[in-house]
Structure 1
């Protein structure tokens, strides 16, 4: 199976569908990532704060897959923005992952109360230039945060990884990203099970029409919008199901019906607001 790639604004390619290890217990991570790689995933998304980079690295080392066939992302945690902490932090992550460089390094949250995300972004530019990461981006940044780092440095992030699912589509951020050639990565793409997404008629009807599961329909909706997505599961059958989304396409009407799930008032958010994470 060939997973489509997306071209980032720095010319690098990223697989559009990957495997996320958020909340995968460290003790289970090596097995889960090894199974994901066996099933066909080549894009792994982790973070320092997840506590499971070592398991990701062990699975990669044991897979026998050439490094240039893998795309690995990790992230800078909130308490490592100041001084030269970002360089120390990526060094620790690389040691745990067993890699010389990652493919993508992200500022995990903007931490506005600390007012240091511009400094963190400046340091990520240095890390990219030093060859410790091929691409750099951000996570959970809203438009004011994005505008500020670009104004300060002239460097536009390759990606912004944000909470995005049918009930919460963050159109202000996605519109800004589209206008500035920033790719959107959707975390919590299925709403983390915190609302009855699969019972929504627009999703259920499309699933029935295509002979697919509701989860596959929602992942397909993300892909057709051009979002990069990495659903999480620790069950092999679900890993396989989440990857089996390239043999059908939603109609324009089906996409529009899922688009309409978001009430547009922000009430669909299922996680923390970026201004409140510091």
Structure 2
């Protein structure tokens, strides 16, 4: 009956387990992706299996002073854009879907205004240097974290 599913926070090993044991391959996997945690290997794996990566927390919820980061600020100035626009453009150019969260009309307009410029390869490489290869939130590979997440109850 199921033709398409989406998953969240599945790393390549869990995705492969899902792929080999089920007929339906996830259409999308929503994972933490932002300039400080780029998940390059995970996104390459997903693309290999036609799973669309989607970024949750594309602005790292403002952590690490992302909007004041010198690299991102200098790139934003170069294109006469905001840091948020540079981050969204960077994600789009990497083939990563993102749905930034905002309730402010002016930010909604700003967030959609990213299709009138393209980051150069040099700027993409500058952003790549920001990758710490670590989550700013929690590790989905840590058994204790997974155990804790399993105890959470959500109202439906």
Q: 1:151 aligns with which of 15, 20, 31?
A: 20
Q: Do the aligned partners of 2:5 and 2:25 also contact (CA within 8 Å) in 1? A: no
For 2:139, the equivalent position in structure 1 comes to: 273
- 1:209 matches 2:87: no
TM-score (norm: length of structure 1): 0.50
For 1:232, the equivalent position in structure 2 comes to: 101
The alignment partner of 1:138 has SS state of: strand
Compute the displacement of 1:270 (Å). Answer: 2.2
TM-score (norm: length of structure 2): 0.86
Q: Distance in 2 between matches of 1:181 and 1:259?
A: 23
Compute the displacement of 1:144 (Å). Answer: 1.6
Compute the displacement of 1:248 (Å). Answer: 0.7
Compute the displacement of 1:274 (Å). Answer: 2.4
Compute the displacement of 1:215 (Å). Answer: 0.5
Q: Distance in 1 between matches of 2:85 and 2:70?
A: 15
For 1:162, the equivalent position in structure 2 comes to: 31
- Cα deviation code 1:125-153 (max 9, x no counterpart): x343xxxxxx3221111112101111101
Q: Do the aligned partners of 2:33 and 2:57 also contact (CA within 8 Å) in 1? A: yes
Q: Distance in 2 between matches of 1:217 and 1:147?
A: 32
Looking at both structures, which has the greater relative contact order when contacts are Cα pairs under 8 Å and sequence separation is at least 6? 2
Larger Rg: 1
Q: 1:184 aligns with which of 35, 48, 53?
A: 53
Q: Do the aligned partners of 2:12 and 2:45 also contact (CA within 8 Å) in 1? A: yes
Backbone CA RMSD of aligned residues: 1.4
Q: 2:62 aligns with which of 187, 193, 204?
A: 193
Compute the displacement of 1:162 (Å). Answer: 0.3
Which aligned pairs between 1:1-278 and structure 2 lie closer than 5 A? 126-128=1-3, 135-264=4-133, 266=134, 269-275=135-141, 276=145, 277-278=149-150
Compute the displacement of 1:228 (Å). Answer: 0.3
Q: Distance in 2 between matches of 1:206 and 1:244?
A: 16
- Which has the larger strand fraction? 1
Q: Do the aligned partners of 2:2 and 2:24 also contact (CA within 8 Å) in 1? A: no
Q: Flag structure 1 segments of 5+ consecutive residues without an equivalent.
A: 1-125, 129-134
Q: Distance in 2 between matches of 1:175 and 1:243?
A: 25
Q: Distance in 2 between matches of 1:169 and 1:251?
A: 18
Q: Distance in 1 between matches of 2:123 and 2:71?
A: 7
